[in-house]
Structure 1
Amino acid sequence: MLQKWTQPMFSGRNSAEKRREAIEAAHLAVAEAMTAINHDDVDAARKALSEAPKTHFADVGWKVGLAGAMVDLLAGRMRSSVNKFVAVCSRLDDTSLPKDDKNYLRLYALYRTSEASKDRKAPPSLRDLVEDFRFDHTLVDPILRKDFPLKKVDPEAEAAPPPPPPPPAMEG
């Protein structure tokens, strides 16, 4: 008697679902790692990134790579972080990201390495990747701007909005 299969043997649906789940898990791990990095917590950032599943570079691997470079930078491993930044930035053209997003991320890497260097200059390997480009900041994905801000933001200052101004005194 032939046995009925509950799932097709070569179904693209299961692999597509697994891929979507892995991409979503990697996005969440990077967001958690970048939050930890903004709080200067290297161990929490490293732990969050270790939980990111292995994904293809063009899907979200570039994002995990950038966060990994930031972890190394925060840990004081300048050479390792620069190598990771260069590796990710040089392959951004392999992704489906818009040109503005790619250029924004290259500038992000340049800013972070220049802030961490002793002479406040980015390494020539990164400067070569970033030279002579323009991008429209308003066209950059808001999630990228949140996870990879160009300016360092104080987490406490961002959490508490300023108090509203007092109402004008009414004279009568």
Structure 2
Amino acid sequence: MSNRIECVQAMENMTLRVIFRDGTEKSYDVRQMYASFPQFRQLEDDFSLYQSVQVDTGGYGVSWNDDLDLDAEELWDNGVCTGRRYELDLEHRLAAALVKAREAAGITQKELARLTGIAQGDISKIENATANPSLRTLKRLAAGMGMRVQLTFDSRAATPYNEGRRNEHADHQ
């Protein structure tokens, strides 16, 4: 599953604004769940509960409590693209790119760990944007997937494009 969530916001009319780790923004109407899962109606009755939505650890979904949650694939598949894209920080772009590359190679984290000698836990941290891998580590990961690392410097980084950044104090991308 590569469509992991970066952030979520409860909007008016029972609609969630979801930003995925690739920068895609989608709008998801929670009311579409009512027919199959009537328990979601309680979100309409309890606005403070509705507004308490949070991204689950790892970005695999969103939840309000132990009984009410949606996985990232549901939000991706049935959400409506808003046409907006967000420039995510470098760590999150790297994480999304690694997950996408690994899935394109058709291998699991465990298999990639075996192929590269890098601990699966470390690969997981990189994919969750909680680790800062060295270039050497990235090269080993790429080689394990039969790929190579590409690096580009983009002049857009010099413009004041801060919308959608997770850390508004981060000046470098």
Shorter-normalised TM-score: what interval?
Answer: under 0.3
TM value normalised by structure 1 = 0.26
Which structure has greater strand proportion?
Answer: 2
Structure with bigger gyration radius = 1
Give me the TM-score of the superposition, normalised by structure 2. Answer: 0.26
